[in-house]
Amino acid sequence: MDTAKNFLLDIKDRTAYLTVNRPEKLNALNRDTLSELSKLLGFLEQEQRVLGIILTGAGDRAFVAGADIAEFKGLSEAEAFDLATWGHRHVMDVIYNFPKPIIAAVNGFALGGGLELAMACHLRVASDQAKMGLPEVSLGIIPGYGGTQRLPELVGRGKALEMILTGDMLDASASLQWGLVNYVVPADELIRKCDELLQKMYLKSPKALSLAIRSVNKGLQSPKEGYDEEIKAFAEAFGTADFVEGVAAFLEKRKPKF
Ligand code: COA
């Protein structure tokens, strides 16, 4: 696929390195960028060479500084409804439920829609320069790409409401302490740390990874159905070639080849 106008895409050693590339606007997500991202995700889901994705922002200032505020001006309620619905369905939910692991490499500001994008990813690794927040209330609006749901999921209701109601940014070490990110590393080690995490996952069954993502997500979105989903996904795993290989390798005292 041709690299989109607002993205850089590099596929190397089973990993897609996907970079939002609007550094002059701190990688803010305008409609074109979101639409390109949706198409890129469709492509990467199908692409056999890709087992995982690292998502980051261009430049050394921002991961993504939010939805593009310039595009908010003059939006009606109905248009805002459509904008948020589209973003949820075609980008944020797709990332959240993506069948291959996606890690956000948070290299600077992750604000508003930028933090929501990072929170939709399966894991977050932040550089020690990163700053995270949901400042929407300063604009007279609220988070609209999943922030009110995914932030409490990660940090609990009290801390989430503190962030959302004050609009304050957290620095990297507070983000780690609050559980918003998995790791904080020096800026020049950010991608290496993400690579290291993905390489561990690539030793495991890709099918099992996708079933695990599906099961975890189901329980978070619909707690009553989570246990049933786990049972279904557990059983589904027994029907895969990866299961046959994984168990055979264990019994033969060798490493599995998935
Ligand atoms: N939407 C549109 N443009 C944005 C943007 C956003 N969310 N965030 C930054 N930009 C643009 C700025 O307008 C500026 O463009 P310009 O040079 O054409 O004027 C450029 O990116 C650089 O940002 P600037 O504000 O000059 O940098 P700064 O270092 O002074 O401040 C921030 C950095 C992140 C604190 C500040 O840009 C900011 O508050 N951004 C908005 C964050 C936000 O509210 N996000 C949630 C949106 S729902």
At what angle are helices 147-155 and 113-120 packed, to 10 degrees? 60
pLDDT tens-place string over residues 80-126? 999 999 999 999 999 999 999 999 999 999 999 999 999 999 999 99
At what angle are helices 157-166 and 147-155 packed, to 10 degrees? 130
Q: State mean pLDDT over 131-159.
A: 98
pLDDT tens-place string over residues 225-254? 999 999 999 999 999 999 999 999 999 999
- Nearest 5°: the CA angle 24, 88, 219 is 125
Calpha distance 144→149 (Å, rounded): 10
pTM of the model: 0.97
- How many CA atoms are closer than 13 Å to the CA of 164, on its beta-carbon side? 20
Ligand 1 site, residue 26, Cβ cutoff 6 A: yes
Calpha distance 169→146 (Å, rounded): 18
Chain centroid offset of residue 179 CA: 15
- Confidence band (pLDDT; 50, 70, 90) for 1? low
- CATH 3.20.20.330 for the 7-202 domain, yes or no: no
Residues β-bridged to residue 131: 109, 171
Lookup: tokens for 59: 């430049």
Chain centroid offset of residue 172 CA: 17
pLDDT tens-place string over residues 37-56? 999 999 999 999 999 999 99
Ligand 1 site, residue 116, Cβ cutoff 6 A: no
Pocket test for ligand 1, best of 6, 20, 25 (most atoms within 8 A of CB): 25
230 is known as an active-site residue: no
45 is known as an active-site residue: no
Domain edges within the chain: 7-202, 206-251
Active-site annotation holder among 45, 136, 225, 245: 136
